[in-house]
Structure 1
Amino acid sequence: MATYVLVAGAWLGSWAWDEVVPELRAAGHGAHPITLTGLGDKQGVPAGQQTHVRDIVDEVERHDLRDVVLVGHSYAGIPVGQAAERIGDRLARVVFVDSEVPVDGGSFASGWWQGRAALEALIADNGGFWPPLTPDDYEGQGLGDEQVARIVGGSTPHPGATLTEPAALSRPLGELPATYIKCLLDGPEPNDDVTELLTSEHWRLVEMDTGHWPMFSQPRELAGILHRAAARS
């Protein structure tokens, strides 16, 4: 059985996986959802992107985890992708859930759809944080009103430095065993960086007919995909 380390995207914490974790444990897997520094109950602690990479690596090493499937959603794909190459033979697979992926020397902001300057200005205008989304921002993502209220109610401002600091990779990401989950309501195609990585023999694409937050909209289906991804390792 595998051991999952689950990392949610911007504004979210370990609680985002509350409906996925029981499904994984019922199948006999270990599951370690984590809250990154500066978020959730760890608010007020300064954090850059490499802080988040260390959070993930420390979770693996502190618990002496083996056969690890690292799961990164949205923003968290960037620190998860870096952590994956740093945990060595503890890694079984990486699963990117509708996420960004790290590009050596690049940041989350450098790939922002409105341009890096726009995201940096938003962060500067909000005291160094990326403000959480509003309920209207979740329209068309396959979420009910209660699910949206839960996400909005639990979200906390995201530390801006984690979005602007560059990633650092020591090997090509395409060499890692990986599954990429594309959530189709958030756009039918992965971004260009992911599309290139999917040409690697080590990468697999799985599609979900839901929005960008499948741990809320389709938790059981997501857990099933994670279970099957581990079986590929």
Structure 2
Amino acid sequence: MSTFILVSGPFTDGRVWSEVAERLRESGAGAHPVTPSRQPGADLETHVEDVIRLIDLLRQRAPREELVLVGHGYGIHPVLGAADRRAERIARIVHLDAGMPQDGDAALALVPDPSAHELLSAQGDSGPLPPPAPAQWERWGSTEGLSAHQLDLLSRLAAPQPRRTLTQPLRLTGAAAAVPSSGILCTAGGTTLELVEALVRTGPPQFRKLADPRVGFFELATGHWPMLSCPDELAGVLIRAAAGEGRRLTVPEGEPPFLGSFLLDVPQRPRVRIGRVDLHLPEPGDAGGPRPAVLFVHGGPVPADLVPAPRDTPFYLGYARLAASLGAVGAVVEHRLHGVTDYAQAADDVTEALEILRADPRVDARRIGLWIFSGAGPLAADWLGAPPPWLRCLALTYPILAPLPGWGAVGPRFRPVDALRADGAAPPPLVLTRAGLETPLIAATVARFTAAARETKAPLEVVDVPNGRHGFELHGPTDESREAVSRAVRTVVARLDGAGVSP
């Protein structure tokens, strides 16, 4: 039977696990909730050491016991830090409503509510964060399933959280990569198996590791604190996870979809690389003088070391060449959206790319289109709230138009729906390519955007792909998907060919 080391989220300690620990022990398992250090100066490394000390102590007492580390929310950071240094002693790591932090990630990046980030910034370096009042726990995760009494209990048990535990980067060597793991998704917060499957199928390549046969998944229909809202169910799922049960995910065999051929046969065009921007040029005989241009902004987040980089994949080469075949300059920017904390950096990269594009003598600086894909969708907010007159069209393809669960580090600047509703200049013509079989969480953000467009009478044209999923171009191209891509590109280029305006 397994022995569980239980590490909870911010402000809480071992007492929050009382009912779960009791049920685990009743089943014959060992259960050891961790009470993290709270002394002044404590940081993430302090909490990693707390877990390591317990691992070493349990190994001394019972060398043959299988240790299962359970990290809840913030708790996954000290769990992974400890597992990295004691990998040979760990049988399994369980992510309980927790993210997948990588080396260099700070815990605050995965907090779901931006107001928590604002609270940390407002207090500067004035000491630990005070524990939430009962009505404030929603900042740190869904409180679905908790009674008023349980929220009061959370606050009574809570202690101030040393701020460096949330801001200090996690340091990992990769030593624990081979340790089996389980994910327990608390679906009231919005993260479901369906969303995870979509990320594995069409999202950034780093998610493909979730299809490893050593990784199992479970769902609990509750909020972020299942140890309080459903302790019996949680204890049962933990025992099943330790036994290696759980749903397995799969990905198609062969090369990753993003390396597959573009769904339309388009000829190569001359390509020019200027820093982070590639320009795909129309043939000289297509038209005289400077040409309109479309800047394609790849989705994300994607790893910084992804090979090939998005601008070198058949997907974005295909889109850019298609625009060039229609007489426009097709440009692709390699921006640095590597994590949910990087939207400001990526926005700067896009702005710089547009400046490079408009300064090129082959480009008509008065006729520019911006085309944003998938997880880069929040970047659209900058160009909706105060669009320059030279931005003739803003295109969006299966975009994420509001932060998803766990994207708390995405600040209020990157809210396209709010930008559309804000007072200011009218947005440019909008072309939205919408996947009919979109993941519900993403589809909900698109629905809010289209509703805002109707309310504000924004010039929105929708290209629907009724049988298309997120990333439909990469998965079994059909006549429907080919027609949708062709129509969308032709529509955008046509918007650029209108009467000239002043720069």
Residue 188 (structure 1) aligned with residue 183 (structure 2)? no
| 2:146 matches 1:143 | yes
Question: Hey, what's the Cα distance between the residues in 2 that align with 1:101 and 1:132?
Answer: 25
Given candidates 191, 206, 211, the residue that maps to 2:223 is 211
Q: Secondary structure at the match of 1:20?
A: helix
1:155 aligns with 2:155: no
Local SS of the residue matching 1:175 = coil
Deviating more after overlay: 90-99 vs 208-217: 90-99
The one-letter code matched in structure 2 to 1:219 is: P
- SS of equivalent to 2:124: helix
Q: Confirm whether residue 19 of structure 1 aligns to residue 22 of structure 2.
A: no
User: Residue in 2 aligned with 1:34?
Assistant: 34
What pairs up with 1:56-75 in 2 under 5 angstroms? 56-64=51-59, 66-75=65-74
When residues 123 and 167 of structure 1 are mapped into structure 2, their CA distance, relative to the original with a 3 A threshold, is farther
SS in structure 2 at match of 1:124 = coil
The amino acid of 1:47's aligned partner reads A
Task: Quote the offset at 1:223 in angstroms.
Answer: 0.3
Instruction: State the secondary structure of the residue aligned to 2:93.
Output: strand
Match of 1:169 in 2: 172
C-alpha separation between the residues in 2 aligned to 1:227 and 1:184? 20
For 2:46 and 2:236, locate their aligned partners in 1 and report how far apart those are by CA, in whole Å.
Answer: 30
Structure 2: state its 5+ residue gaps: 246-503
Q: What amino acid is the match of 1:129?
A: P
Cα deviation, 1:29-61, whole Å, max 9, x if unaligned, reads: 1111110111xxxxx343111111110011010
Shift of 1:230: 1.1
**What are the Cα deviations for residues 85-138 of structure 1, in whole angstroms up to 9, with x where unaligned?**
22232211111110133310121124455399636404527x232232222235
- What is the Cα deviation at residue 196 of structure 1? 5.1
Per the alignment, do residues 7 and 117 of structure 1 end up closer, same or farther by CA in structure 2, a change over 3 Å counting?
A: closer
Q: Within 1, Cα distance between the matches of 2:119 and 2:31? A: 33
Aligned to 2:211, the other structure's residue is in SS state coil
Which residue does 1:94 correspond to in 2? Answer: 93
2:90–2:179 Cα contact (<8 Å) kept: no
**Residues 196 and 141 (structure 1 numbering): CA distance in 2 closer, same or farther, change over 3 Å?**
farther
The alignment status of 1:121 with 2:116, answered yes or no, reads no
Distance 1:37 1:209 in 2: 31
1:130 is paired with a residue whose SS is coil
Q: How far has the Cα of 1:12 moved from its partner? A: 0.2
How many angstroms apart in 2 are the aligned matches of 1:3 and 1:80?
15
The CA deviation at 1:216 is 0.2
Q: Determine which structure has greater relative contact order: mean sequence separation of CA pairs < 8 Å that are 6+ residues apart, divided by chain length.
A: 1
C-alpha distance 115-216 of structure 1, shift in aligned 2 (>3 A) = closer
Q: Does 190-199 or 139-148 show the bigger shift?
A: 190-199
Amino acid at match of 1:6: L
The answer as to 2:246 corresponding to 1:226 is no
Secondary structure of the residue aligned to 1:18 is helix
- 2:3–2:66 Cα contact (<8 Å) kept: yes
Using a 3 Å threshold, how does the CA distance of structure 1 residues 183 and 111 change in structure 2: closer, same or farther? Answer: closer
Aligned residue for 1:79? Answer: 78
Partner of 2:48: 53
Tell me which moved more, 194-203 or 92-101.
194-203
Matched letter for residue 18 of structure 2: D
Contact 1:53 1:83 in 2 (8 A): yes
Cα deviations across residues 154-176 of structure 1 (Å, max 9, x unaligned)? 11111000111111111176532
Please tell me the residue identity of whatever aligns with 1:137: Q
Equivalent position amino acid for 1:83 in 2 = A
Q: Which has the larger radius of gyration?
A: 2
Aligned to 1:41: none
RMSD (Å), alpha carbons: 2.6
The alignment-based identity, stated in percent, is: 35
Q: CA deviation at 1:82?
A: 1.8
Deviation at 1:25, TM superposition (A): 0.6
Measure the CA separation in 2 of the matches of 1:115 and 1:176.
Answer: 35
Moved more, 10-19 or 136-145: 136-145
Contact 1:13–1:35 under 8 Å retained in 2: yes
CA distance in 1, matches of 2:46, 2:229: 29
- Sort the Cα spacing of 1:120 and 1:136 in 2 relative to 1 into closer, same or farther, 3 A: closer
2: CA distance, partners of 1:118 / 1:48 = 20
Specify the SS of the correspondent of 1:94: strand
Partners of 1:128 and 1:161 within 8 A in 2: no
